[in-house]
Chain A
Amino acid sequence: MTTSTGPRASTRSDRIGAIVLLVLALLYGLEASRIAYSFSSDPLGPRVFPLALAGLLALLSLIYLMRPSGAESWPRGRLLAASLAIPALVLAAALLLEPLGFAIAITVMVVGVGRIFGASWRAALIGGVAQAALWFVIFRYLLDVYLPGGSLLGL
């Protein structure tokens, strides 16, 4: 199921991760040094704590860079595409939520994610409509949560 990429490749991803964290520490530190303020009632001010955190993260990511562990394997090919399709479908639901309403947005997401997790079209479609209806009843009537009806549909 999981595709192992070998020890060398996974220490590489550790190293990339460590470098990204290091860059992040530097950017965060830079932004921290530019925090604008005119007065603070304490001797430390709003900059010092973030700057210390930046230094700490830089130090820790250097240690991480020097001692990579290389434990994880990354999904490849279809599995990677399927992994990324999950947040993409949630994104679609988020964007459709207000214009088309809860029912349609959620059905699209549930059907799509169901297909990714191996449901047949038939099962995914039935599951999608059923879950959208079930959750609608639970949220709207049992828990009294506001759900958008869909502005484009005039609901």
Chain B
Amino acid sequence: MDLSYLWTGFAVALTPTNLLIGFIGCFLGTLIGALPAIGPINGIALLLPIAYTLGLPAESTMILLAAIYSGAEYGGRISSILLNVPGDAGAVMTALDGNPLARQGRAGEALMISGLSSFVGGIIGVIGLTFFAPMLSGLAIGFGPAEYFVLMIFAFATLGSMVGDQPVKTLIGCVIGLMLATVGLDATSGAYRFTFNEPELGDGIEFVVLVIGLFSISEAMLMLEHQASGGSIIKVTGRTLARWADIVFCTGATLRGSIIGFVVGVLPGTGASVSSAVSYTTEKRISDREGTFGKGDMRGLASPEAANNSTAMGAFVPMLTLGVPGSGTTAVMLGALMLYNIQPGPQLFTERPELVGGLIASLYVGNVLLLILNLPFVGIFSRVLLLPNWILVPGILVLSVVGVYSTHASVLAILMMLGIGVVGWLLRKLGFDMAPIILGFVLGRVMEVNLRNALAISGGEIGILFSSTISIVLWIMAIAIAVLPYLISRRAKARAARAQAELQGRASQAG
């Protein structure tokens, strides 16, 4: 296999500037992850406009954002363990065993074990990324417009079936995102769509405005309701070094978590919240013989932590090779690439090896930096848990206002961000997730353009969408992934009903 792109990449990632940028990203990422309620997606949304206005080259911006992303997956565990409030969606499972361990006075050991499994997950994820990405991009060179369109359908099917417990809401979110993407000038026909004669809307809705509105304004409003409801920070006392026996004990869980995490990461749209849940429940089924999971079992801590870091790496595979984000956060990064007028896709590998390689190489460097930051210096990051919301939330809002203002130099953009933010808050109160909206928005133009190009090739014949082997396989995969969870839950329900009937039968016999 030709890995020359990676060596080009290391030359990019190891320049002093990019090393410094990577280090800053890792530091900020861990900090953002450790802050309760602020995850990688909010952090990247907030810092994207600043990176953009700084005039950094595309590969440096990508290195910065990727470092923040991986850092946040490391940092998320800190508040899960010490505060029992997950630092981000991917760290929810970490709290289940991590916080009980901390309450037993083993916080230091829990932080070290989870830091180590984060590292193993991260490294296994990057290695997977290094080998899978060129393979997939080689495969994707055979993609025409029709195949791309069906690929998007597959992405939305995966999203609908894997993300959230309410597929309808996830799909509605995707459609809203797709609709928002249709605003502006249609390049093929020269028609202005949904602009209502507003010149500001001619170029469409600005990505930065949308992302900051959805992720930071609505978050600030929600934080008021979820404000510190009685949680208390546990001080790290006692051992800070994990026992060797515990590390060995967790090896299986860590490796399984890493592999599950990578696979889930590669699937379009499904991020760390899905993978950590899947790996935790799998690990519980495999190793929880004494019923210790949920009461402070090291394996229940290692598995989801390895998974969420591995997922972050895996999520780059479809993003870099197909232009389909593997998670909500990579969707924001894809939007960031588009700000630089870089169209992701299989050609990215051949045309911009310094960007793809630089990004992947920086992830190797980043994971090593993060291990150092997160083992001996974990105490520094746990301090941010003491930061009160009355300082944190105004700070987030300042970043949002300046970020939007600096990219567009217009007050109108801030007003639009606010409008989008309040609508986002209403949607979140109704149980909608924001990530599908971003995914729909980022994929919208590409999806429509590919559909129209495909039909232009076939002269309007819809059969072109089902004509090649690749499209047929993608259709089958889309249908399978959409139907599968439904079948599984029906079987589970039937089994539960049988068990219930049996219990009642026994009870009536006994009585």
Contacts and interface: CB of A to CB of B under 8 A. Distances in A.
Interface of chain B: mostly helix, strand, loop or mixed: helix
Contact of A42 (B169, B188, B224, B415): B188
A145 B398 CA distance: 13
Chain B interface category by residue count: 35 or more
30 contacts: A1-B227, A32-B193, A35-B192, A35-B193, A37-B189, A37-B190, A40-B191, A44-B452, A46-B186, A46-B189, A49-B182, A50-B182, A50-B193, A53-B182, A57-B179, A67-B168, A69-B166, A83-B221, A86-B393, A90-B217, A90-B400, A90-B401, A94-B418, A97-B401, A113-B394, A116-B224, A117-B227, A117-B394, A131-B394, A139-B406
Interface residues of A, number: 72
Given A57-B175, A94-B401, A135-B402, A42 B453 contact: yes
Nearest to A124: B390
Interface of B: 50, 53-54, 166, 168-169, 171-172, 175-176, 178-179, 182, 186, 188-194, 217, 220-221, 223-227, 229, 388-391, 393-395, 397-398, 400-402, 405-406, 409, 411, 414-415, 418, 421-422, 425-427, 429-431, 448, 451-453, 455-456, 459-460
9 pairs of A and B residues whose beta carbons are closest in the complex: A40-B189, A37-B191, A43-B460, A119-B390, A117-B390, A110-B394, A94-B414, A42-B456, A42-B452
Contacts, number: 195
Contacts of B166: 69
A9 interface: no
Contacts of A37: 186, 189-191
Interface in A83-108: 83, 86-87, 89-91, 93-95, 97-98, 102, 106
Nearest to B460: A43
A146 interface: yes
Contacts of A94: 401, 411, 414-415, 418
A41 B398 contact: no
Given A94-B414, A139-B402, A139-B406, 5 more contacts: A13-B429, A37-B191, A86-B393, A90-B397, A94-B418
Contacts of A89: 397
Contacts of B179: 28, 50, 53-54, 57
A79 B225 contact: yes
A114 B394 contact: yes
Interface in A25-75: 28, 31-32, 35-37, 39-46, 49-50, 53-54, 56-57, 60-61, 63-64, 67, 69, 71-72, 74-75
A19 interface: no
A150 interface: no
